[in-house]
């Protein structure tokens, strides 16, 4: 983060290490707290390097205090959101955004409906994580996991996402093992292959949402470019290479992709694969008429998968009260001035 600054002032390596420890690990609240730096250097740093590229505009804490959702503003005024989920098993997972909105435009997604407002820099991605690191350090905790499941499609911002991953896994910076990082994609095959070629060995989540090409292409435009069979082939290669289980996200939409026959199709596709299916009750958005599947049907669907030898769980939505699906909060805020009817 301070490479340029370090180069300009010809700082020795131990200075950047001091900086990294204070900034990424100890959660300093401002450069004033960088006590290992001499005062004059600290002043120069303050004058030349931004402490954060994003400012927090709103913080929403769930009733159980296990989920904190923040709305962050970029220098240009656009908003993105990031979420901290404090799991009972001790994991502190940060869900980051990598874009403002998303150009992929899946039919059921609030982020997609916002349109595309630009890609975030690696620094902006990291600043979301460091914000929560600061909060956690106060109670002796740390960010333990990062998931790229916020706004945006990571494969369409690969270079910056890759740089962010390098900072997350750097032992001198955020120091997380690659297994603690999850990348979620709607299925951009060449970029995914590139990520793996670059050395990514973290967890992979795929937004699947349909058990066959026809329905998937109807729900997700990306499927028309990268069909399901080719996607599964690429994932099989990843599993063969890493022996890692792939997670599949499956939003349950009433009478659309939640029928019994769909569950059997999934069994056919996945019973012989190292896979986990995450059934997500659909969060209604206003631009489309879809409805959430009823609970009984979601459970029936899960049971067919499990009986067919496919590992499946229904996602427990944490922090339901702070908001529904990813993307909805920022969407509302960005549109606030033009749409007075929307409650926050
Ligand atoms: N663009 C990437 C990363 C975003 S992850 C991807 O699509 O994988 C966000 C997750 O929330 C995705 O699995 C997405 O399909 C899901 N999602 C989108 N809209 C939703 C909605 N209305 N209800 C529930 N989940 C939704
Ligand atoms: Fe983009 Fe993912 Fe939403 Fe699709 S589901 S529009 S890829 S954020």
Q: For residue 344, what pLDDT is reported?
A: 29
- pLDDT number for residue 172: 97
CA-nearest of 35, 30, 74, 37 to 56 is: 74
Ligand nearest to the CA of 147: 1
Closest CA to ligand 2's atom 8: 152
Q: How confident is the model at residue 318 (pLDDT cuts 50, 70, 90)?
A: low
pTM: 0.94
Instruction: Judge whether 161 and 99 are in contact, CB under 8 Å.
Output: no
Buried b (16+ CB within 10 A) or exposed e, 238-249: beeebebebbbb
Nearest CA to ligand 1 atom 3: 149
Q: CB within 6 Å of ligand 2 — which residues? A: 102, 104-106, 109, 111-112, 152-153, 186, 207
Average pLDDT over residues 238-247: 94
Cβ 121 vs Cβ 53: under 8 Å = yes
Q: What's residue 323's pLDDT?
A: 58
Q: Are strands 79-86 and 55-61 parallel, antiparallel or unpaired?
A: unpaired
Cβ atoms of 185 and 153 within 8 Å: the answer is: yes
List the residue whose alpha carbon is closest to atom 13 of ligand 1. Answer: 207
Indicate which residue of 81, 124, 153, 333 is catalytic.
81
pLDDT for the residue numbered 322: 59
Angstrom distance (rounded) from CA 125 to CA 137: 19
pLDDT band (50, 70, 90) for residue 343: very low
Hey, whose CA ends up nearest to atom 21 of ligand 1? Answer: 283
| Helix spans in the chain (H) | 3-8, 13-20, 39-48, 110-113, 122-137, 158-169, 189-197, 213-219, 222-225, 228-242, 260-270, 295-307, 328-335
Compute the Cα dihedral for 251, 119, 238, 93 and give only its sign.
negative
Q: Is 209 helix (H, G, I), strand (E, B) or coil?
A: coil
Query: Residue 316 gets which letter from DSSP?
Result: P
Are 168 and 203 in contact by the 8 Å Cβ rule? The answer is no
Q: Are 150 and 95 in contact (CB under 8 A)?
A: yes
pLDDT one-digit tens code per residue, 88-105: 999 999 999 999 999 999
Does pLDDT of 329 surpass 80?
no
What is the pLDDT confidence band of residue 64, given thresholds at 50, 70 and 90?
confident
- Find the 46 Cα to ligand 1 centroid distance in Å: 38
Pocket of ligand 1 contains residue 185 by CB under 6 Å: yes
DSSP label at residue 155: G
For the question of residue 326 being annotated catalytic, the response is yes
Q: How far is the CA of 251 from the centre of ligand 1 (A)?
A: 8
Which ligand 1 atom sits nearest the alpha carbon of residue 283? Answer: 23
pLDDT of residue 324 exceeding 60, the answer is: no
| pLDDT tens-digit map of 125-173 | 999 999 999 999 999 999 999 999 999 999 999 999 999 999 999 999 9
Q: Can you give the pLDDT at residue 316?
A: 73
Per cent of the chain over pLDDT 90 is 86
Residue-level pLDDT at 255: 97
Give me the residues paired with residue 247 across strands: 205, 276
Dist CA 40 CA 1 (whole Å): 19
Residue 102 among the catalytic residues? no
**Ligand 1 center–CA 152 separation, angstroms:** 9
Task: Spot the catalytic one: 95, 102, 106, 326.
Answer: 326
How far, in Å, is the centroid of ligand 2 from the Cα of 154?
A: 10
Q: What is the mean pLDDT of residues 36-58?
A: 96
pLDDT confidence tier of residue 42, bands split at 50, 70 and 90 = very high
- CA-angle at 82, arms to 78 and 86, nearest 5°: 165
């Amino acid at each position: 983060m301070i490479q340029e600054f370090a180069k300009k002032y010809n700082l020795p390596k131990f200075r950047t290490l001091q900086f990294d420890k204070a900034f990424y690990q100890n959660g300093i609240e401002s450069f004033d707290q960088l006590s290992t730096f001499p005062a004059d250097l600290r002043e120069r740093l303050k004058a030349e390097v931004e402490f954060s590229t994003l400012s927090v505009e709103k913080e929403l804490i769930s009733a159980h205090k296990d989920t904190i959702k923040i709305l962050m503003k970029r220098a240009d005024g656009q908003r993105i959101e990031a979420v901290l989920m404090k799991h009972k098993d001790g994991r502190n997972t940060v869900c980051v955004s990598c874009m403002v909105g998303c150009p992929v435009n899946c039919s059921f997604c609030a982020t997609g409906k916002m349109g595309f407002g630009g890609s975030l820099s690696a620094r902006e991605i990291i600043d979301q994580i460091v914000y929560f690191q600061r909060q956690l350090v106060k109670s002796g905790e740390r960010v333990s996991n990062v998931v790229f499941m916020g706004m945006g499609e990571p494969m369409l911002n690969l270079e910056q996402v890759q740089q962010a991953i390098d900072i997350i896994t750097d032992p001198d910076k955020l120091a997380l093992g690659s297994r603690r990082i999850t990348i979620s994609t709607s299925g951009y095959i060449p970029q995914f292959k590139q990520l793996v070629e670059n050395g990514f060995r973290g967890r992979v989540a795929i937004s699947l949402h349909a058990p066959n090409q026809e329905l998937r292409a109807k729900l997700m435009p990306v499927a028309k470019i990268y069909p399901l069979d080719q996607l599964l082939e690429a994932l099989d290669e990843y599993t063969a290479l890493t022996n890692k289980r792939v997670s599949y996200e499956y939003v349950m939409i009433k009478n659309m992709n939640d029928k019994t026959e769909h569950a059997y199709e999934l069994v056919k596709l996945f019973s012989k694969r190292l896979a986990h299916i995450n059934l997500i009750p659909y969060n209604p958005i206003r631009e489309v008429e879809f409805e959430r599947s009823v609970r009984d049907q979601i459970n029936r669907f899960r049971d067919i998968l499990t009986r067919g030898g496919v590992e499946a769980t229904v996602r427990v939505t944490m922090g339901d009260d702070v908001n529904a699906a990813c993307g909805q909060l920022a969407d509302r805020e960005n549109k606030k001035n033009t749409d007075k009817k929307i409650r926050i």
